[in-house]
Structure 1
Amino acid sequence: MVASRTAALPPAVIEAAKHRILDTFGAMISGARMKPGLAALKYVQALGGKPEVGVVASQFRTTAVNAALANAMFAHADETDDFEPVTKAHPGCSAVPAALAMGEKNNASGMALIRAVVLGYDLGCRLLMALGPDSVRAGHRSAEGTSSTYCALGSAILAPLGETGMRHALSYASQQVSGLWSWIDDEDHIEKAFDFAGMGARNGVMAVTMVESGMTGVHDVLDGTHNLLKALSAKPDPAALTTGLGKDFFVTRSAIKTYTVGYPNQSALDALLTLRRENKLTADMVKSILVRLPTDAVGIVGTSAMPDVNNPHLVSVALLKGAVSFDDAHDVALMKNPQVLAIRARTTVVPDESLMDPAAPRGAIVELTLNDGRVLKHHTRFPSGTPENPLSADEVSAKVLDLIAPVMGKARAQRLIAATWQLEKMPSVRQLAALMRV
């Protein structure tokens, strides 16, 4: 962690980090105007606090801890943020707000912010690899919540901590690692925004600033007698924390969402829309839809009350309209639309063990039976936005512009996007933070 302040980062890793940072800015700023974001802003405004750091899409300033909490809840106020398919972590929504808070507080450079985010992705995802992602979920724990505090702990390199300080920050963070899979029952996405992002960002920045203030802690929380890995996993793999460290960067592995919906829906929408486009289909040509998802995805998106997470609803909208826009994905009224309901009545979502593929853990198969008797099938292993099928810089910019222009205006949004692509040359993160005030 100390060495990552100065270790050379390959150009491809810097570029990947900027993609994820910009994508998260889009999630943060657009999420600030959604129900979970408004609730988070109201909460931290009531807390007050020393005006160290700005809350994005507002003029409000508060402590680094409070700002990290709010900005992170903004980042997962919706299903817009990135996702790491193997670990099931959502690293950007906690790593980026935490780094932004510490970077603004301590007047760090843009390159230092990039390094903090890269480290955060490694810390959070590697923790899950060491615990075993499937083991975490089998214990009713949330992989997303479990990793988020460590993702935020990348911000430790933006504080003047040496090795001992890093060890103590790890210990304070480890005491706060938590997260239950109960978030799946949240119908308003407010607690989910806290569970996935706000909690972890707050915890990580709190750990860093507590040690920064002079507090001491336990020296060996990862390898002592009563360590974090033993506490959270029956079969921990400590080597996963460091295997390939400094050469294999998790920031290059996460998937940036093309559709602003729950990630298990990405491949299904890609497959459905591919079939619709290639065969020039309309909704009235389709007799039935069969969607096959990985077995661990059906419980998440099979029957959710949230429209942007509900798979049968989303594929019905996609077949009807030929696309799923941001507005469509969040239009609760569409869930009662007679045309959508008619399609949904002939849509079935089933688990498919064959899709539990470690090489493509969030694939989907869509099978359409047409009224003329034809059966069309498409298997999407890697939807657009995955490392295997990445979005270009222009595509990420277009996504973010569409998300944030309604909040901050097109011209200001374009300035923020342009500045982020030049982040490694920016002398102070405070310049970036100023662009996000509204």
Structure 2
Amino acid sequence: MTTASRKLGEFIYNTNYENLPKAVVDEAKLRIADVIGIGLSGSQTEVSKIEKFSLAKGGEGKATIWGTGNKTSPAYASLANGTMTFHLELDDVHRTSHTHPGVSAIPTAIALCEEYGLSGKELITAVVLGYDASIRVGMAVSPSIYVDRTFLAPGTLSVFGAAASASKLLKLDVKGISNAIGGGSYFGPTACYESFKLGAGIKDMIMGWGNYCGIYAAELAAMGFGAPDTAIEGDFGFCKTTSAKFDIQRLYNDMGSVYEIMNTGVKPYACCRQHHAAIDCMLELRNKYNFKLEDVSHVRVRTFVVSSRGNKKKPASVQEAKYSIPYIMAVALELGGAWRDQFTDELINDTRLLEFASKVDVEPDYELDKLYDEKWPSIVEIKLNDGKVLSARHDLPKGEPEFPCSPQELKDKFMSLATDAVSNEVAETIWNTIQNLENLDDVTKLTELLTSKIE
């Protein structure tokens, strides 16, 4: 009998670097750079305190905690690096699976490549397979995992990307990989949405925790700890636990011919991806009509139901502000963006911004919701003091494969972030090393660059 974990095991076992199309390899290198840049920046924020926890608990190992010279075991390094990356809300998103696949697969794969002295080709392969595993399981349970249940889907699904990447790098056989996937479904994160909605500090850890669990799932599988073949789709398996309705066929569709890393969107804004189409609407209207906060009497944001949860007008923290459409509309109009600089303790208490946010009403639009999750649409309607009404609609946010960021925009994003932790020269070297990753015989030649701090 073919089961989901068995099919994933066969796919992961049989896929090697030589099977990957050049476009997939090139995309993987861009995503590795994207995640490393975000993680380096995150290492300079308050969430870097996770380093102390990881070093205290992780013991000896060869895996680097980014932005430092410190090393620990792969599980704890990937916990720290995943946490520091997720904190900034800039890591990539696959919209129809509701996963953040890069922050699962990439810190996990890099840490294990360091531990075992593996090559750039092995890193690329493990990353591509990690994306596919988390995304495919995510597509099977989406959108029900978000709509009918109250899970934070990216956190709950993160273990599968990590387990897949780790299984490949540990060179497990088909049964071992299947056991790792099944094991991950058993003791991976069960992430409740409440912490995410309220921007609680603990939410930053959930992707790193998935990495930790995924590595241990693979290591336990390597020692012979088994899992049921039906761990994903069984009567008491992952799908039925996390969703009211699921379609296991979505996991199998085009496996081996379509690599889902190619269908994953990049974030140009430092906040919840669900709200990016609304940002695009506001920026379009701002640029076209050149109006200011004081010119506006009311804003109506219509969006799909899940996105409409982000309706709090007065965020209590920077993290909560990243899920507040009213606040995000205020900074997008006033400051022309939603980058790191727009999410600070000072700005979330700015009286002008909060006054504007109080004028923003967020409504679930059930016609737009019919397009979800193939599209993530928003309509922004702005009523000016003179009675004029401005309106814009975006069905997909900037950075999606259908509306991509350019290679130069991706490099600019990387340089902006990485240089929070390293010099411009080192950042350029990191970027160039990643673009030549397939020729690297040992990934530590890359990771040794991730420890240089600005003097």
- For the aligned pair, the TM-score class normalised by the smaller chain equals over 0.9
Name the residue aligned to 1:107. Answer: 117
Change (3 A) 1:43 1:111: same
> Residue 199 of structure 2: SS of its match in structure 1?
coil
Q: Give the one of 27, 31, 36 matched to 1:20.
A: 31
Residue 346 of structure 2 aligns with an amino acid whose one-letter code is A
Name the residue aligned to 1:180. Answer: 192
Name the residue aligned to 1:348. Answer: 361
Name the residue aligned to 2:44. Answer: 33
Name the residue aligned to 2:61. Answer: 51
Measured after TM superposition, the shift of residue 166 of structure 1 is 1.2
Q: How does 1:317-396 map to 2 (within 5 A)?
A: 317-329=331-343, 331-356=344-369, 357-358=371-372, 360-396=374-410
Preserved contact between residue 164 and residue 181 of structure 2 (Cα < 8 Å)? no
Name the residue aligned to 1:207. Answer: 217
Residue 320 of structure 1 aligns with an amino acid whose one-letter code is E
Preserved contact between residue 153 and residue 208 of structure 1 (Cα < 8 Å)? yes
Change (3 A) 1:389 1:412: same
1:268 equivalent to 2:281? Answer no
Name the residue aligned to 2:151. Answer: 141
Q: Give the one of 448, 451, 455 matched to 1:434.
A: 448
Once structures 1 and 2 are overlaid, which stretch shifts more, 268-277 or 8-17?
A: 8-17
CA offsets, 1:221-249, max 9 Å, x none?
34667543344445443322221001122
1:79 equivalent to 2:79? Answer no
Cα distance in 1, alignment partners of residues 232 and 271 from structure 2: 35
1:240 equivalent to 2:263? Answer no
Name the residue aligned to 2:126. Answer: 116
> Residue 406 of structure 1: SS of its match in structure 2?
coil
Once structures 1 and 2 are overlaid, which stretch shifts more, 160-169 or 252-261?
A: 160-169
Measured after TM superposition, the shift of residue 428 of structure 1 is 1.7
CA offsets, 1:238-282, max 9 Å, x none?
322221001122211121111111112211111101111012223
Name the residue aligned to 2:202. Answer: 191
Change (3 A) 1:117 1:137: farther
Name the residue aligned to 2:225. Answer: 216
> Residue 323 of structure 1: SS of its match in structure 2?
coil
Preserved contact between residue 118 and residue 154 of structure 1 (Cα < 8 Å)? no
Cα distance in 2, alignment partners of residues 65 and 208 from structure 1: 11
Cα distance in 2, alignment partners of residues 22 and 11 from structure 1: 17
Measured after TM superposition, the shift of residue 172 of structure 1 is 2.2
Preserved contact between residue 126 and residue 164 of structure 2 (Cα < 8 Å)? yes
Preserved contact between residue 5 and residue 157 of structure 1 (Cα < 8 Å)? no
Residue 258 of structure 2 aligns with an amino acid whose one-letter code is D
Q: TM-score, normalized by length of structure 2?
A: 0.90
Q: Give the one of 112, 120, 137 matched to 1:127.
A: 137
CA-atom RMSD in angstroms: 2.0
Measured after TM superposition, the shift of residue 2 of structure 1 is 0.3
Cα distance in 2, alignment partners of residues 175 and 258 from structure 1: 34
Q: How does 1:58-97 map to 2 (within 5 A)?
A: 58-97=68-107
Percent identical pairs in the alignment equals 28
Change (3 A) 1:383 1:227: closer
CA offsets, 1:290-349, max 9 Å, x none?
2122111121454554222221112112212233331112x1221221221232232222
Runs of 4+ in 1 over 6 A off after TM superposition: none
1:152 equivalent to 2:185? Answer no
